[in-house]
Every structure is written in structure tokens, then in C-alpha cells.
Amino acid sequence: MPLTRRHNRYFFADPNPEQRLREHKKPMTTMTIEPDTVSIRTAELQSYTTFRLRAHWFGVPTAVVKEVTLVPPLTPVPHAPGAVRGYVNLRGHIVLVVDLNFLLYRCPEDLDADTRLIVFKPQLGDACSILVQRIGDMVELDAAQIESYRTGSEADSQDAGLLPEEELIQGVGKLDGHLLLILDAHRLPSCLEQIIAKRCQEPSSHGNASKENYQ
């Protein structure tokens, strides 16, 4: 059964897959592995979609990712907190774009040729996505490779101490050569909700965002 289901089509809804393939020179085999096949092989192994933001590599569970795509033209939403970048039209669906860079580092993400949108599956609530500086590979980690963030942050305080929205970070995965901050995507809606409720005095980013529409 799993073989006949082309799970990977979700990940190449991207209008220009060839280009993406060129960008990622590493073998793509990991990307075609279905979460449930993974769970059949070894119960502990989970797949993460990785992406880069500033100096860090992040990962979200692949199970909650619907697709990764180029950023369509953005429509800013006035009055929304700075972390809400606006709406995009994703093939007839209106999707909310969250600026993770702003959420974590209080600095709006610059849109360039590497910027991608990670769109989440409906299980996270209304259609929602995050802007990432560039997309990385998919990796598989087992639970033993992940340390809870609280303890991890003491050890790596120089790197991780910058993060203000600590609740979003679920843990730290140890990869060869670098660390992977595991994002708890399920907390994203509630985190945003708190921010909106607080109505913290942030300069709304919509004024400049409109000039950065990215094709």
C-alpha cells in the first residue's frame, strides 16, 4: 500500500521542482519517506523538515507539513501583530503567513530567492504557514537524539539564549556538526493568539511588507 501512495507529491507542489532539486544537491531519498512507513520501521524514528533561520537550523515534524512552496504575493493584514506577515493565495486557498523570524527574533524576514513558505496541514487549525529563510533536508531523528529544550538551553545558552518565544521550541536535536531546534508547530496558533491578545506595542510591519512582494 504505501508504495502506491505518492506521498511526495505534497512536497513538490512547488511550481519549479527542478530548480529546487538543483538547490538541494543532497539525495532526496529521505523526502519520499512517509511518516507512517517510518513508524513501521522503528517506532522512535520521526521525520523532520528542516529549515534555516538566521544562525540556526530548525525542524518541524514532517507529519504536520502540507507542502513547501515559493512565496506568492503577500497581502498585508493591517492591525495584525508584526509576526503576521499577511495572507497569500495558494491555488485558491487563503493562507495566513507567519513571520517566524519576527516571532523569534523580532526582526522581519527579508524575502529573497531562497525564502520559502512551509504550509501546515489543517490539523493545526485554519490554513497557516511560516516564512523560512531557506529550506533544508528532511532528517530522521529518534527520541534519544532529542533533548528537551530547557536543559539544552543551559548548555547552549550562547546560541539559544536569544530566543524570546521559548515555548515554541520543543527540544534540541543533535545532528552531526550542528544542532536542530525542534519547533512545536502545534503551539504556534496558541502562541500567536497570546500575542494578538496582548496587542503588544509593536510597529506594524505591513507598511514595508507591501513593498517586498516576492515573485
Partner 1 sequence: MTDRTPADPALLELFRAELETHLATLSSGVLALEKTPDDSRQLESLMRAAHSIKGAARIVGFDAAVQISHHLEDCFVAAQRGQIALTSDGVDVLLRGVDALGRLGTPGDAEGSDAVRIEELDACIAEIAAVRSGQLPPTPEPAPKLASEPAPKLAPDPSPPVASEAAVHEFVSEAREHLANVVQDLLTLEQRPGEADAECLHRLFRAMHSIKGGAGFVGCRTIEQLAHAMENVLESLSQTGTGIDSTVVDTLLAGTDRVQALVDDAQHSDEADVSEIMQRLRQCLEASTPAPADRPPVQAATQQLSSQAPVAAKGTATSGGELPRSGDRSASVRISVPLVDRLMTLAGELVLVRNQALRSIESGDAAIRPVLQRLDALTSQLQSAVTQTRMQPVGNLFARFPRTVRDMARQMGKSIELEMGGTEVELDKSVLELLSDPLTHLIRNCCDHGLETAEQRVRAGKPATGRIVLSARQQGGQIYIEIRDDGRGIEVERIRRKVVDGGLRTAADLVRLSDKETLGLITLPGFSTASEVTDLSGRGVGMDVVKTNLDRLGGALEIDSTPGQGTTFSLCVPLTLAIIPCLLVRVQDQCYAIPQKDLEELVCLHPDQGQTRIESTLEQEVVRLRGRLLPLVRLSEVLDHPRPFDVKTRESIVRKHGAQAATLFAVVKVGQRRFGLIVDEILKNEEIVVKPMHGLLKPLTCFSGATILGDGQVALILNMEGIVHHAGVRFGEHVDHIEDHPSDEPSQRGESAQVLLFRYGAEEQFAVPLAMIRRLVMVDPEHIEQVGSREFLQVDGETTRLLRPDQVLPVSPAAPVHPLFLLLPKNIGRPLGLLATSIIDTDALPARIERDVLQADGVVGSAVLRGRMTMLLDLGRLAQRSDPTDRTGASSSASDARIRKHRILVVDDTEFFRELVRGYLDEAGYQAVSVADGAQAVRELEQSPFDLVVSDIEMPVMDGWTLAKTLRQRSEFARLPLLALTTLSSDADRDRARTCGFDGYEVKLNRQQFLHKVAALLAKQSEAAKS
Q: What is the 3-state secondary structure (H, E, C) of 115-138?
A: CEEEEECHHHCCCEEEEECEEEEE
73 touching partner 1, by CB under 8 A: yes
128 touching partner 1, by CB under 8 A: yes
| Cα–Cα separations (whole angstroms), residue 67 to 70, 120, 173 | 10, 7, 22
Which range in 25-33, 73-81, 106-114, 175-183 contacts partner 1 by CB under 8 A? 73-81
Nearest Cα neighbor of 83 from 167, 213, 211, 194 is 194
Supply the minimum distance, in Å, between the C-beta of residue 206 and partner 1: 8
Supply the minimum distance, in Å, between the C-beta of residue 65 and partner 1: 18
Nearest Cα neighbor of 214 from 77, 108, 113, 76 is 113
- In the numeric block, which cell numbers belong to residue 174? 543533535
Nearest CB to partner 1, comparing residues 88 and 141: 88
Nearest CB to partner 1, comparing residues 106 and 150: 106
**Which stretches within 83-201 are classed as H helix?**
100-105, 149-155, 157-160, 188-198
210 touching partner 1, by CB under 8 A: yes
Among 89, 123, 148, 151, binds partner 1 (CB under 8 A): 89
Is 144 within 8 Å of 44 (Cβ atoms)? yes
Among 4, 22, 29, 91, binds partner 1 (CB under 8 A): 91
197 touching partner 1, by CB under 8 A: yes
38 touching partner 1, by CB under 8 A: no
Supply the minimum distance, in Å, between the C-beta of residue 122 and partner 1: 12
Antiparallel, parallel or unpaired: β 116-120 and 128-132: antiparallel
Supply the minimum distance, in Å, between the C-beta of residue 75 and partner 1: 4
| Cα–Cα separations (whole angstroms), residue 154 to 145, 158, 168 | 17, 9, 17
199 touching partner 1, by CB under 8 A: yes
Supply the minimum distance, in Å, between the C-beta of residue 168 and partner 1: 15
The dihedral built from the CA positions of residue 67, 84, 181 and 191, taken in this order, carries a sign that is negative
> Residues interacting with partner 1, by CB under 8 A?
72-73, 75-80, 84, 86-89, 91-94, 96, 125-128, 189, 192-193, 196-197, 199, 204, 206-207, 210-211
